[in-house]
Structure 1
Amino acid sequence: MIEVILDTETTGLSADKDRIVEIACIELSNHIPTKNIFHTFINPETKVSADAFSVHGYSDEFLLNKPKFKEIVKNFLDFIKDKKLVIHNADFDLGFLNNELRRLNVKPILKSDVVDTLQIARSKFPGVGNSLDALCKRYKINVEAREKHSALVDCHLLSKVYIELIDKKELTLDLELSNKGDNHQMRLNNENRQGIIVPISPEKFEEYKKFLKKNVPNAFALD
Structure 2
Amino acid sequence: MRQIVLDTETTGLEPGQGDRVIEVAAVELVNLLPTGLVFHKLVDPERDIPAEATRVHGFTSADLAGKPRFAEIAAEMLEFLGDAPIIAHNAPFDFGFLDAELHRCGHPRLDRGRMVDSLMLAKDRYPGMPNSLDALCRRLSVDNSMRSSHNAILDCRLLAQVYLELMGGKQPGLELASAGLSGGPILAVVESVEWVSQPIIVPVDRMAAHTAFVTAKVKDALWLKAPFGDGI
Normalization by structure 2: what TM-score?
A: 0.75
| In 2: Cα distance, 1:211 partner to 1:63 partner | 49
Residue equivalent to 2:133: 132
- SS of the residue corresponding to residue 98 of structure 2 reads helix
- Counterpart of 1:127, as a letter, is G
- Counterpart of 1:111, as a letter, is R
Classify 1:4/1:199 alpha carbon distance in 2 versus 1 (closer, same or farther; 3 Å): farther
Residue equivalent to 1:161: 162
Larger radius of gyration: 2
- SS of the residue corresponding to residue 154 of structure 1 reads helix
Root-mean-square deviation over aligned CA pairs: 2.6
| In 2: Cα distance, 1:116 partner to 1:42 partner | 24
Cα contact 2:137–2:144 (8 A) shared by 1 = yes
Residue equivalent to 2:204: none
Classify 1:93/1:49 alpha carbon distance in 2 versus 1 (closer, same or farther; 3 Å): same
Cα contact 2:168–2:196 (8 A) shared by 1 = no
Q: Is residue 4 of structure 1 aligned with residue 4 of structure 2?
A: yes
Q: Once the 2 structures are TM-superposed, how far is the Cα of residue 152 of structure 1 from its aligned partner?
A: 0.3
CA displacement, residues 81-105 of structure 1 (integer Å, 9 cap, x when unaligned): 1111111100100010000011122
Residue equivalent to 2:221: none
| In 2: Cα distance, 1:198 partner to 1:12 partner | 47
- Counterpart of 1:133, as a letter, is D
Residue equivalent to 1:196: 174
Q: Once the 2 structures are TM-superposed, how far is the Cα of residue 199 of structure 1 from its aligned partner?
A: 5.6
| In 1: Cα distance, 2:124 partner to 2:108 partner | 30
Residue equivalent to 2:84: 83
Residue equivalent to 1:179: none
Cα contact 1:160–1:170 (8 A) shared by 2 = no
Residue equivalent to 2:39: 38
Cα contact 1:85–1:113 (8 A) shared by 2 = yes
Classify 1:198/1:24 alpha carbon distance in 2 versus 1 (closer, same or farther; 3 Å): farther
Classify 1:80/1:71 alpha carbon distance in 2 versus 1 (closer, same or farther; 3 Å): same
Cα contact 1:139–1:164 (8 A) shared by 2 = yes
- Counterpart of 1:6, as a letter, is L
- Counterpart of 1:148, as a letter, is S
Classify 1:149/1:63 alpha carbon distance in 2 versus 1 (closer, same or farther; 3 Å): same
Q: Is residue 104 of structure 1 aligned with residue 105 of structure 2?
A: yes
Residue equivalent to 2:63: 62
CA displacement, residues 136-165 of structure 1 (integer Å, 9 cap, x when unaligned): 011111111111110000001000000111
CA displacement, residues 69-120 of structure 1 (integer Å, 9 cap, x when unaligned): 0000010000001111111100100010000011122111122101110010
| In 2: Cα distance, 1:29 partner to 1:198 partner | 18
Q: Once the 2 structures are TM-superposed, how far is the Cα of residue 207 of structure 1 from its aligned partner?
A: 7.4
Q: Which runs of 5+ in 1 are unaligned?
A: 172-194, 217-223
Residue equivalent to 2:118: 117
Residue equivalent to 1:26: 27
- SS of the residue corresponding to residue 157 of structure 1 reads helix
Cα contact 1:6–1:85 (8 A) shared by 2 = yes
Q: Which has the higher contact order (CA 8 A, sep 6+)?
A: 1
Residue equivalent to 2:143: 142
- SS of the residue corresponding to residue 165 of structure 2 reads helix
CA displacement, residues 119-139 of structure 1 (integer Å, 9 cap, x when unaligned): 100111111111101100111
Residue equivalent to 2:230: none
Aligned residues: 189
